[in-house]
Amino acid sequence: MNTDSQKDKIPMVSKANSNNLKWNFSMGLFYGMFYNGGMAFSESTTVLPVFLNNFTNSKILIGLSSTIMSQVGGIGSVLPQLFVASRLENKVHKKPVLIGAIIIRALCWGFLAFIAYLFGKSHPLGIIYVLFLFLTLFVFMGGIAVVPFQDIWGKAIPSTLRGRFFGYLQFFGGILVPC
């Protein structure tokens, strides 16, 4: 009788893990779709130059936005990982760091939109400075967020499904990207 009760528990655990996996997979795809779609609106070679053109005719400043996103972006997305990874390695709960970085990244765009709306016509040069400041902060927060992000998804999605997960994430995320 004891053996029968143990057999009954095994499928329930597998089913629960299966449900968690389906949930994690689905929510990861949902997040990835909107992340990729949202990032398309900050494309450094198309969208940001058009945005900056509203505040300046300087081709140098407009080109600088691409530099921040590519050159400083490369440094900003890697450098914080060197410091964050060692601090998060032994922590059990890494999600608060991820959520904090995501919130700061979202606030960067929200504050930029708010400031551009209020002061865009009266202080165009100030908007450009604020844009560069928020772009830099946005990129550095991305460098911080990638460490817990990869750790969490590495535990939530089994290695046998990660390729499919990230492939679907890129594919469905690309659907939301405007042409």
Tell me the torsion sign for CA atoms 33, 39, 45, 48: positive
Q: Residue 67 and residue 47: Cα distance in Å, rounded?
A: 14
Residue linked to tokens 């865009």: 120
**89 within domain boundaries:** yes
Q: What pLDDT is stored for residue 110 in this prediction?
A: 93
Mean pLDDT, residues 118-137 taken together? 89
Residue 145 phi, psi dihedral angles, 5° rounding: -70, -30
**178 within domain boundaries:** no
Q: Residue 170 and residue 179: Cα distance in Å, rounded?
A: 15
Q: How many domains does the chain have?
A: 1
Is 158:121 a contact under the CB 8 Å cutoff?
no
> What proportion of the chain, given as a percentage, has pLDDT over 70?
89
Q: Which domain holds residue 50?
A: 2-173
**179 within domain boundaries:** no
Residue 177 phi, psi dihedral angles, 5° rounding: -75, 125
The residues, ordered by sequence, that sit 6+ positions from 115 with a Cβ below 8 Å of its Cβ are 126, 127, 130
Q: Considering the chain, what is the average pLDDT of its residues? A: 83
Tokens of 13: 């655990």
Pick the more confident residue, 64 or 140: 140
pLDDT interval class at 144 (50, 70, 90): very high
Mean pLDDT, residues 118-144 taken together? 90
Pick the more confident residue, 67 or 149: 149
> What are the CA-CA distances from residue 106 to residues 23, 32, 43, 118 (Å)?
24, 15, 15, 19
pTM for this prediction: 0.79
